Each structure stands twice: as structure tokens, then as C-alpha cells.
Amino acid sequence: MKLIIGLGNPGVSYSETRHNIGHMVIDKLQLVKIPGAIIKKTGVFMNESGSFVKKLITDHKIPASALYVIHDDLDIPIGEYKIQFARGPKDHNGLKSIDENLGTDEYWHVRIGVDNRPSDNRPMGEEYVLQNFSDEEKVIIDRIIKEVCKKLETLLINTN
């Protein structure tokens, strides 16, 4: 059994922000049936993600190594992504919460790049991730969401 979690904040006001890219991927991924996979969006604020994930892992008896967390990443440019085991961004409060609650960072990180800040006038990351994508960025994000879903579908079906 695998657990795929998309990080984000609840509520309409956050639904199109960079921080909610995990929820956006889950919206598309839930349209696909992946045998042996539980696919969920967090129903809590980013900083409280750990308790949500811990409950699911405990209830379904899933090891951390079978967890895939989909999240925004400011260390990666918009339009790119990485799927890595035990490797996340330097600073992400949702992941810190998960690491603390699970007692490990040894799970899969689906790192989706959301950084498109100008080099000469970079807003702080905490502010930037709560901004909506521009219309031009949405085109890029729609493409990358499709790529990530296809990659995860292939990866998860081949590892069951």
C-alpha cells in the first residue's frame, strides 16, 4: 500500500496559490485509479500537515518509505520537478511538521518547482508561496501537473 499526499492550505482563498501545488496535483491524480494507493489532500493548514499524515500512516499501517508527499519547492524553478527519496527543500514548514510527527524524513518527496521570482527584487519566500500563479505561469503549471501525474502513475503502478 502507498500513501500519496498533496500538501496545501484549506479554503478557496488559498486554492490557486503556489503553496497549494500539492492539492492541484492531487485533484488531477484522483481521476486515475492506482491500485494499492491512497491518494489524499491534506485537510489542514500547511504547518499542521504532520498530524494529518501521521494519522493516515498509523490507521492504514503504511511505512514512511511508502509515503509520497507532493509539495511546492522554492529551490526548483517553475516548470521543473524532482521525485527524490528523503530529499526535500531546505525550508518548508509542512515538511518540517511531517518530519517531526513521523520522526523521520525518509519518505518520497515530489518536489514541484514554483520559483519564478525576479533575481533583482525577490519577495520573501513566505509571502511568495501564498501568491496566486499568473496567467502565464498557469500554462506552465498545468503542463507540469500533467507530467507529474503521468510519472507518478507509472512509478506507482510499476512498484505495486
What are the C-alpha distances in Å from 63 to residues 31, 51, 84, 123, 136? Answer: 25, 15, 17, 37, 39
Note if 19 is an active site residue: yes
Contacts of 129 (CB under 8 A, 6+ apart): 17, 18, 19, 72, 74, 114
Catalytic residue among 19, 23, 71, 92: 19
Residues carrying an active site annotation: 19
